[in-house]
Every structure is written in C-alpha cells, then in structure tokens.
Amino acid sequence: MPKPLIYDLDREGLKNLLAEWKQPAFRVNQIWEGIYRNLKSAPEEWSNLPVVLKKIMAEKTEFSGIIPVDRLESSDRMTIKTLFKTRDGQAIEAVLMKYDERRTLCISTQAGCAMGCVFCATGQMGFFRNLTSGEIVEQVLYFARELKKVGETVTNIVIMGMGEPFINYDNTLDAIDRLNDPRGFGLGARRFTISTVGLVPKIQEFTKEKRQVNLAVSLHAANDELRSKLLPINRQYPLSELIPACRDYVETTGRRITFEWALIDNVNDRLEDARELAGLVNGMICHVNVIPLNPTTKFSGNATSLERAQAFSNELNSAGVPCTIRLRRGIDIQAGCGQLAGKHHEASSNSA
C-alpha cells in the first residue's frame, strides 16, 4: 500500500498522524509552516524538527505525489507548461503564466476529462481519474518553489486545467482551503477562480457555501443547439437551467460571475452571436472573457481573427456587458489545456 501523500493531509489529519507517532501537537505548526510557508519539499529540510521525527516522516509519508517529466517554455518566456506524472503513472499538466506583476497558475483537478468538449484536448483524451486534494495542492507548491528561486510568488490560481473541478468538488475545495489557510500558504480566496462547464447542481451547492472564491462558467454559445454541439453537458443541463443557476449565484453571493467564450472562426464569433449572448445575460452582474480558440489536432475549427474578436467584444461592451479579450498564451508550446498530456498519453498507448 502506498505511503500517504503529506499534501493530502489537512491540519486535523496531520495532527492525528503525529499523535499516532506519539509526537507533541505543537509539531503540527512546525510541519505545516514548513510545507506551506517555507515551501520545504523533503523532511531533511526542516532544521527545527528532531532527527527521529524527520526519519519517521521520510519512512511513513510521501513528499512527491507528482513528478515533473517535461517542461516547455514559450518563446517570450512568459508561459511555462510542466507535465507531471502521478505515482500511478497518470499524466497531468499545469501552466505558469506571467502578466506584468501577476504570476498566475492554471492547475488541473483530474487526469483527463469526461465532459467531451469538442475543441478541448483534455476532453478528447477521455477520463482516467480524479486527482487527490494533495495532487492538486502539489502543482501549486511546485511552481511556488520555482518562483521563490527568483524572488517571486504565486499571485493567482485559476482552476481551469485538465478536468472538470465540480466533478471533483470536495478535493478541489479542500485543496483551495489548504492553500488559503493564513497559517500556511495564505493565498486570499479572491485570488482563486474555479471554472466549470456548467454542472448546475454543483453550481447551486457552491452558491450555498457563499465563498469568496471566483466562479467562471465555460459558456461558448448562447443557444442550446450550438452549445450542445460544442459542450455535450448542455444536453443534460441546458441554458434554461444553467443561466438561472448563474443568476442565483450572483444574487445570493453578491459576486460577479465570469463567462468564458472561446472564439471559433465563423462558429460563435459573429456579431449576432454577441447580441444573442448579451440578451442571455442581460441584467446579470457578469464579465465575459473571450479568447481566440487554442487549436487542437482533433478539432477542425480555427481561431477567430483579432479583428473579429475585437468586433465581438465591442458589440458586447456596447450592449452593457463588460468584455475583455484575453491574450492567447503559449501557443508555440501548445499551452492549451491537455495538449501536452494528450501527446504523452498517445505515446504511452502506442508503445504499450
């Protein structure tokens, strides 16, 4: 049986483990701060723990639940994608994006994805398993350690990588809680954004929690016919259920919601598409992020031009719906969700 991953433990779990080892409770703070504040990655790095405890930690817990196996850096050095392998051989990926003063991480919650969104490389590879809370956390700690070497810190985390976070709801929110804990990593709740394709019951559950964590919904179409073609989940939770759930989220929490829209040339980037979207979200406190499609090999659609993207954005803004064109990042290293892991999975399958 594999040793427990240290990052899977919350403070109570760590306290219980130390009690099993007959260690005093005050060691919890020392270990917790070591992991999350000082970013230690192995027991021997603690100078304030007794040798016997460090030996027990090394023998009975695991500090490497994910191992980096590939790294790609964009030509402008503003985007770094890392491919990790889990202990059971799953391929997952995370991306560091540099924006002026911000250092934003895009992290994964699943190995693969079952949602089947036609333009997404992760959806094209299928689903393998949920990540544990510790495997989610460790992606952040890996990049935090890398940034620390150059005197920088993680400023934002978007949970928009591989997988649907709301299918792995408990582990995703446990990971956020661990990274939000002011006694450790201490990243503010508003620095996190969870992105969902629109699982209505989970949006409703999330709404009831009234968290300060940001919510984004991958919309991509403003009518059921097109959205069902692009995102199969729409057949289960159509816009007539999704949009009211989004409105309820805004009204209950008082927080703005973000809608993500991948602009596909002559598919969902026309002015009439923008007008349809404006009508759909009319009166809602929201923001629309549009981004020209990140191309994938298994989807024939092309990215819209910058001119069409600007026209789409202008149409929304003129209708009173705030819209921003997001820069496509890391196109030269295929930084789109799941692209590197998909290649790794295909290579593994072909060699089997």
Among 93, 135, 146, 260, the active-site one is: 93
Give me the residue label for tokens 């820069």.
327
Distance CA 324, CA 84 (A): 31
- Structure tokens belonging to residue 155: 């400023």
Give pLDDT tens digits for 50-96: 999 999 999 999 999 999 999 999 888 889 999 999 999 999 999 99
Mean pLDDT for all residues in the chain: 92
Q: Residues with Cβ < 8 Å from 206, sequence gap 6 or more?
A: 166, 169, 194, 215, 249
Checking if the pLDDT of 215 tops 50, the result is: yes
**Can 106 be counted among the known catalytic residues?**
no
What is the mean pLDDT of the segment spanning 210-233? 97
Can you give the pLDDT at residue 7?
Answer: 98
What is the mean pLDDT of the segment spanning 151-171? 97
Can you give the pLDDT at residue 326?
Answer: 85
Give pLDDT tens digits for 104-141: 999 999 999 999 998 888 888 899 999 999 999 999 99
**Can 337 be counted among the known catalytic residues?**
yes
Structural domains of the chain, ranges and CATH numbers in brackets: 6-60 (1.10.150.530), 66-351 (3.20.20.70)
Among 113, 117, 120, 337, the active-site one is: 337
- Structure tokens belonging to residue 254: 């008082």
Q: Are 215 and 203 in contact (CB under 8 A)?
A: yes
Instruction: Return contacts of 303-309, CB within 8 angstroms, 24+ apart.
Output: 303/263, 303/264, 303/265, 303/328, 304/263, 304/264, 304/265, 304/269, 305/265, 308/263, 308/265, 308/269, 309/263, 309/269
Got the DSSP string for 276-310? HHHHHTTT--EEEEEEEPPP-TT----BPPHHHHH
Give the predicted TM-score (pTM) of the model.
0.93
